[in-house]
Amino acid sequence: MSRNGVIGGFGLSMGYTLLYLSLIVIIPLSTILLSAMSMSWSDFIATVLDKRALLSYKVTLLASLAAAAVNLFIGFLTAWVLTRYDFYGKSIINAAVDLPFALPTAVAGITLTALYAENGWVGSILAKYGIKVVFTQTGITLALIFITFPFVVRAVQPALEELEAELEEAAESLGASKFQTLTKVILPLISPSLITGFALAFARGLGEYGSVIFISGNMPFKTEITPLLIITKLEQFNYAAANALALVTLLTAFAVLFLLGMLKKYIRREL
C-alpha cells in the first residue's frame, strides 16, 4: 500500500486522527483520571473496594457478559438470516435491527418494564411459571440484550456477506457434514467479527444506565449497577468518588477490549 492515500497522506490524516481523538476521547477521559487522582490513595481504595461497589461490579459484569453472550448467538442467527435468505419484508427487518440504537434508552427501559412486569402481557405469562424478570438480575440482562443487540449483527453481517458460497460447496463436496461446515469453516472465518461484536456489546453494557435503572429495582447490594452508584456519588457532589468508580469501569472495558483485540489478531494469524 502506498503511503499517500486518497485522503492526503499519512502525516495529515494521522494528524487529524490524533487531534479528533484527543478532543473527543482522550482529553475527556483523562479528566476522569485526573479527578479520581485528586483523592488520597487510601480514599480511592476505600471507594472502589467498598463492599457495595464490589457487589455492583458483580451485578454489572455478570449482566453485561450474559447479555453479550446471548447476543453472540441471536446476533449471529439474525445476521445469517439477513445475508443468506431473501424474503418478503427483509429490508424492514434489516432496518429494525438498528432501532435499539435510535431509541432513547429510558424509553427502552420503560417499555421493557411494562411488558415484563407481573401485570404486563409477557410478565404475566412468565409469572405463572414462577419466573420473575422485572427488578431482578434477569431484568438487567434483558435490558442490556435489547440495548446491545445491533452490535453483533452489524459486526458479523459484512463478514458473512463476504464469505463465498463456494467455500461451503467445497466443504460439502469434500464430505463435510452441515455441522462440520458450520463449526470448521464458517465460524472460524467469521470469528474475528464475532469477537468484535461481543466486545462492543460487553463494553456498552458496562456503562448502560438509562434503560437499566427502570427495570433493575435498584436495591442496594442486590440489583444496583455501577453507573447508579456513580450517580449517587454525583448526587452528593462527590465528583472524585464518582470518577474513581468511572475509572474502574473504564479500565475494565479497556482491558476487555484490548484482550479481545489481541485474541482477534492471534486468530487472524492462525487462519
Partner 1 sequence: MKLLKSFLVAAMLFALPMTLPAKEITLLNVSYDPTRELYEEFNAAFAKYWKAKTGDDVTIKQSHGGSGKQARAVIDGLEADVVTLALAYDIDALHDNGNLIPIDWQKRFKSNSSPYTSTIVFLVRKGNPKNIKDWNDLVKPGVSVITPNPKTSGGARWNYLAAWAYALEHKQNPQEFVKALFKNVPVLDSGARGSTTTFVERGIGDVLLSWENEAFLAVNRLGKGEFEIVVPSLSILAEPPVTVVDRTVDKKGTRAVATAYLNYLYTPDGQRIAAKNYYRPRDKKAFDAYGKFFVKTKLITVDKVFGGWRKAQKTHFDDGGTFDKIYGK
Binding site for partner 1 (CB under 8 A): 51-52, 110, 113-114, 117-120, 134-135, 213-214, 217-221, 228, 231-238, 241
**Least Cβ distance, residue 217 to partner 1 (angstroms):** 4
**Least Cβ distance, residue 83 to partner 1 (angstroms):** 39
> What is the rounded distance in angstroms from the CA atom of residue 33 to the CA atom of residue 234?
16
* 106/187 with CB nearer partner 1: 106
* 83/238 with CB nearer partner 1: 238
96 and 171 Cβ atoms separated by less than 8 Å: no
* 80/239 with CB nearer partner 1: 239
Say which amino acid occupies 88: Y
* 29/114 with CB nearer partner 1: 114
> What is the rounded distance in angstroms from the CA atom of residue 51 to the CA atom of residue 47?
9
> What is the rounded distance in angstroms from the CA atom of residue 60 to the CA atom of residue 225?
5
Strand ranges (DSSP E) for the chain?
none
**Least Cβ distance, residue 88 to partner 1 (angstroms):** 36
Residues contacting 159, CB < 8 A, separation 6+: 189, 190, 192, 193
**Least Cβ distance, residue 221 to partner 1 (angstroms):** 6
> What is the rounded distance in angstroms from the CA atom of residue 9 to the CA atom of residue 64?
40
